[in-house]
Structure 1
């Protein structure tokens, strides 16, 4: 593959990794390149982003990982985007993430990732921005990961008086309890939406 293809793959991987970022070890394994090649690609990509005032992104190295981030100069616009009330519906990924947090709270992002089988940085950010989820303290021990819980806005949005009103979970011996959990949640969500439309 040529250099431009490598840049495209690298950008895609960094975008998909989100806030977690990627280490050079991960890049060498996924892209099947050497450590030196990975470092060279990252350096060249950094020059493209960080050296161009017209770009909206920069490449950061934090704690041994590399990640894409927005430029500080655009913070005002990003803040407006987050603060603008949105009536948009939640994506499937956000709904699944919300269901997991609702039933397992307090829960860390990594625990949600394990249930979903994919990273949930984006959906959690969306849920926090919409006021449906908030962080409530941190786990004791290494890493001090944030613990996420649902908010009163979550209860209002789904027509619940308390978390005890969530649909009961299926038998844990069922084939896929996580899927049953989400199906119950989506049914309740759809009922709530139908009532609003009446």
Structure 2
């Protein structure tokens, strides 16, 4: 029986952790396959465990819903982490997307996707989050798509004074890069 209770508590924990916001009792009960009253007892047992073990998290009850959150006593630790400067890594995908935006700005996601050949939502969103790219307005076309361009932070990070200082690619280099790209594509198609 304890094994079954542990499994159900783990499921409740996973639900509350993953959802982030409060989750209605009925939804939790449905997810674990039990009635509301049994589910409520399991949640309260889980809440008691967190209190007894002096964990950094707790489950709170909000009307007929439950939410996992951090104990108030842990806020100082969280603030120390939050105050640390963010470090981020620019993956090949992000660098490729950033290059397209830098050289073609202002540019829409659709234009970037045409060049890259794949969806760019995640890459563009990450670049916006890193403050290397921002919205520069909207294109006067159906749907009024957002135009993206680089920021002052981009200039700072790459130690350039203006977009005009970006390196230019000679026509010979463009042809070499095109050939390499075509060979890579052919290799992938042959696999």
Query: How far apart, CA to CA, are the structure 2 residues paired with 1:59 and 1:50?
Result: 10
Q: What are the within-5 Å matches in structure 2 for residues 128-139 of structure 1?
A: none
Distance 1:166 1:89 in 2: 27
SS in 2 for 1:61: strand
Q: Distance in 1 between matches of 2:35 and 2:18?
A: 21
Secondary structure of 1:157 counterpart: coil
1:27: how far off? 0.7
Counterpart position of 1:14: 16
1:62 lines up with 2:54 in the alignment: no
Tell me which structure has the larger Cα radius of gyration. 2
Q: Which has the higher contact order (CA 8 A, sep 6+)?
A: 1
- Report how far residue 10 of structure 1 moved: 0.6
Contact conserved, 1:25 with 1:35, CA < 8 A, in 2?
Answer: yes
Alignment of structure 1 residues 97-176 onto 2, 5 Å: 157-158=131-132, 160=134, 163=135, 165-166=136-137, 168=139, 171-172=142-143
Q: Which residue of 2 aligns with 1:37?
A: 38
| Secondary structure in structure 1 of the residue aligned to 2:23 | coil
Aligned length: 120
| In 1: Cα distance, 2:156 partner to 2:68 partner | 41
- Name the SS for the 1:2 alignment partner: helix
Q: 1:196 Cα deviation (Å)?
A: 3.9
Distance 1:196 1:168 in 2: 27
Q: What is the aligned partner in structure 1 of residue 96 from structure 2?
A: none
Alpha-carbon distance, 1:166 to partner: 4.1
Preserved CA contact (<8 Å) 2:133 2:154: no
Q: Which residue of structure 2 aligns with residue 101 of structure 1? A: none
Q: Any idea what the Cα deviations from partners look like across 1:68-94, whole Å, max 9, x if unmatched?
A: 11112211111111111212259xxxx
Q: CA deviation at 1:52?
A: 1.8
| Unpaired segments ≥5 residues, structure 2 | 91-125, 160-191
- Looking at structure 2, the residues matched to 170 and 49 of structure 1 have their Cα atoms a distance apart, in angstroms, of 55
| Distance of aligned partners of 1:197 and 1:14 in 2 relative to their CA distance in 1, 3 Å threshold | same
- The answer (yes or no) to whether the contact 1:50–1:59 under 8 Å persists in 2 is no
Unaligned runs of 5+ in 1: 91-126, 133-153
- Superposition deviation, residue 29 in structure 1: 1.9
Q: Check whether the contact 1:58–1:70 (CA below 8 A) recurs between aligned residues.
A: yes
**Aligned Cα root-mean-square deviation (Å):** 3.7
| Residue 23 (structure 1) aligns with | 24
Q: How many Å apart are 1:23 and its aligned residue?
A: 1.3
TM-score (ref. length: structure 1)? 0.49
Q: Distance in 2 between matches of 1:193 and 1:72?
A: 37
